[in-house]
Amino acid sequence: MPSSVALLITGASTGLLAGGASCAAVQGGLLAGAVTRRRTSAGAGKSAVEEAAAPLAPVGPFLAGKLVSHTLLGALLGVFGDALQPSPRTQAVLLLAAGLLMVLFALDLFGVKGVGRLVPRPPASFGRLMRRSARTDSVATPALIGFATVLVPCGVTLSMELLAITSGSPVAGAAVMAGFVLGTAPLFAALGYLFRRGSQALSGRLAALTGVMVLSIAVWTVAAALQAGGWMSFDAPDKEAAARGPFIVEGGESSAAARDSGTKGEETPPADAPVRTDASGKQIVTLTVTDFYVPTQFTAEAGVPTTLVLRGNDSGGCARAFTIPELGVSEIVKRDGDTEVDLGTRKPGTLLFSCAMGMQTGTIEFKKDLS
């Protein structure tokens, strides 16, 4: 389960970079209708400053209503994901679907022909009903319309909803959706004002700019999904961050070769050595988890019973949601303490691990006859 704080930040950054403009293109007309009506009926007798600020008056209630509905939806989606308890690769598939969905929305913003038919849209009748509701003077109207926007999702919102499902937690699901709405707030307020002024030329440029941002986030999301599923790793090998045998035996024998020959090895190193062998012959691979993974590459011996120790050291963020997609392993690392994962007896090859969001990755390479 990804960290709620990490998902809150992910939702907020996505909303700030792409969600505001994308959602304004879909939902901005609803807010503009309320703004226009209120400005027309309440404009008499106001100062120039009050008149200029009037179009922004409904934005606060609108976003407040939107925040409430989306937070509740995120919590429900998190409960749904928790009930399903998807495997790491199922979560990665959902994350990949979110990224590909964003690609479609980006292409639609670019005006690519035929793509619009593939983009999910609310029924036209619902849109007409919401626009009629926007033409009232009630102070509560913008809040109610904002609450109802959960039924008129923009493209990036749908991607965040998929992300809420993968969180597998009502708190984390609510966090990602609340973060998304909060991230859209500054840009949404500015765009609502601009849409109120009816600048069609600006709207066209804005669509293209939004498409670029959405496409960039989509590429990042797809890459993260591929890593979260253990299908690919885009991290360049870091020799300085690698841990390698020899495999030290607690009690003084220095390696597997030393055990076979019966010779004495060097003095036993600290028990927290990243790769070691205990007195029973079991190989211990220790991964330190803070807000990151240290080290990120291991070289271990194949054909030896192996235990992976996840050593939490004030761990936090996405790193706590540790997964090994190939084995279906999903563990929440203790903030301070050890969590053990039995890797069995591995054949030669590379085992990929990552956080549940695919943002942090690493490898354990198993080789035969290490010296």
Nearest to 121 by CA among 134, 104, 137: 104
Q: Which pLDDT belongs to residue 199?
A: 47
- Give tens-digit pLDDT for 96-141: 887 787 788 778 778 888 887 776 665 566 555 555 555 555 556 6
Evaluate whether 220 touches 357 at the Cβ level (below 8 Å): no
Q: Which pLDDT belongs to residue 39?
A: 45
What is the Cα–Cα distance from 61 to 145, expressed in whole angstroms? 9
Measured in residues, the chain has a length of 371
Nearest to 4 by CA among 318, 311, 228: 318
Secondary structure, 3-state, 51-72: HHHHHHCCHHHHHHHHHHHHHH
Q: Which pLDDT belongs to residue 350?
A: 93
Sheet containing 349-355: give its strands across: 242-244, 297-301, 361-367, 349-355, 321-324, 329-332
Token pair 């979260």: residue? 228
Domains detected in the chain: 4-228 (no CATH), 239-367 (2.60.40.420)
Pairing of strands 361-367, 297-301: parallel
- DSSP line for 280-334: TS-EEEEEEESSSEESSEEEEETTSEEEEEEEEES--GGGGEEEEGGGTEEEE--
What is the Cα–Cα distance from 267 to 298, expressed in whole angstroms? 22
| Strand (E) or helix (H) holding 244 | strand 242-244
Q: How far apart are the first and last CA of the chain?
A: 38
- Give tens-digit pLDDT for 254-264: 444 444 444 44
Per DSSP, the three-state class of 272 is coil
The string over 202-211, giving b where at least 16 C-beta atoms fall within 10 Å of a residue's C-beta and e elsewhere, is ebeebbeebb
Nearest to 332 by CA among 364, 314, 356, 357: 356
Q: Which pLDDT belongs to residue 263?
A: 45
The string over 138-170, giving b where at least 16 C-beta atoms fall within 10 Å of a residue's C-beta and e elsewhere, is eeebbbbbbbbbbebbbbbbbbbbbbbbbbbbb
Q: Which pLDDT belongs to residue 288?
A: 94
What is the chain's pLDDT, residue by residue, as a tens digit (371 residues)?
A: 456 777 788 788 877 776 666 666 566 555 555 454 444 444 444 454 444 445 556 677 778 888 999 999 999 998 988 777 778 888 788 778 877 877 887 787 788 888 877 766 655 665 555 555 555 555 566 777 778 777 766 667 776 887 788 777 899 889 989 998 998 888 777 765 665 555 444 555 666 776 787 788 778 888 888 988 888 887 766 554 566 654 554 444 444 444 444 444 444 445 557 899 988 889 999 999 998 899 999 999 999 999 999 999 988 777 888 899 999 998 888 889 999 999 999 999 999 999 877 888 999 999 987 75
Evaluate whether 33 touches 199 at the Cβ level (below 8 Å): no
What is the Cα–Cα distance from 17 to 10, expressed in whole angstroms? 11
What is the Cα–Cα distance from 266 to 125, expressed in whole angstroms? 78
Token pair 């409904």: residue? 58
Non-local CB neighbours of 33 within 8 Å, separated by 6+ positions: 131, 134, 135
Please tell me what DSSP assigns to residue 114. Answer: T
- The number of beta carbons lying within 10 Å of the beta carbon of residue 256 is 21
